[in-house]
Copies of this chain bind each other. A is one copy, B any other.
């Protein structure tokens, strides 16, 4: 039996939809909101409703936005000849925060995963090809995650795009800058070793 009143129980339950929030944290959040942050709770309620109601996918890059075309795709200042393929909208943000890239993006919103029934059409490969063609890109940069699924997805896209005569590149993987070798996992280290380059 629950020790909470029905509405508190409902709130605790609803909070668990949030990533990383278990029952204990949800309880703490619920009490904290009701005791000290009622206005903030109402603002969050409104923001959730508005976001779900209005945010969809950019028709060019598939990232999340409330506009038909996101501000990155709409920008006149960005290079239209390179297209960087990432798995999630958060990856776009990571690149933008890092700086140094000024081209277009395409967000797969996932990766190929035959086990989960996620095929090429689910991650928008046809739209990626359309986009690459309509932009007449000179280079496609693969920035899927260095996981088994990410690599398989990168391989699949490479096969498709090569047929179109597009240059395809993969971002470098290896020891992170500032990382100490002894703390780097062995898979990364092996990858960094096999990907070594001659110093000229």
Report yes or no: B48 in contact with A41, Cβ–Cβ below 8 A.
Answer: yes
Report yes or no: A14 in contact with B44, Cβ–Cβ below 8 A.
Answer: yes
**Residue-by-residue, is A1-24 near B (CB-CB < 8 Å gives 1, otherwise 0)?**
001111110110111011110000
A31-B64, A52-B34, A64-B34 as given contacts; A17 in contact with B41, CB under 8 Å: yes
Residue A162 lies at the interface, judged by CB distance under 8 Å to chain B: no
Q: How many residues of A contact B (CB 8 A)?
A: 56
Report yes or no: B32 in contact with A89, Cβ–Cβ below 8 A.
Answer: no
**Residues of A contacting B: mostly:** helix
Residue A151 lies at the interface, judged by CB distance under 8 Å to chain B: no
Cross-chain contact of A92 among B3, B32, B89 (Cβ < 8 A): B3
Closest chain B residue to A45 by CB distance?
B48
Q: Give chain B residues whose Cβ lies under 8 Å from the Cβ of A4.
A: 93
A26, chain B: closest CB distance, angstroms: 9
Residue A194 lies at the interface, judged by CB distance under 8 Å to chain B: no
Interface hit among A66-74, A122-130, A132-140, A180-188: A66-74
Residue A193 lies at the interface, judged by CB distance under 8 Å to chain B: no
Q: Give chain B residues whose Cβ lies under 8 Å from the Cβ of A30.
A: 51
A-B contact pairs, 6 of them (CB 8 A): A3-B97, A7-B54, A19-B32, A20-B28, A31-B90, A34-B55
Q: Besides the contacts A15-B18, A45-B46, what 9 more A-B pairs have beta carbons closer than 8 Å?
A: A11-B47, A14-B46, A17-B33, A17-B43, A18-B18, A31-B89, A33-B51, A35-B109, A42-B48
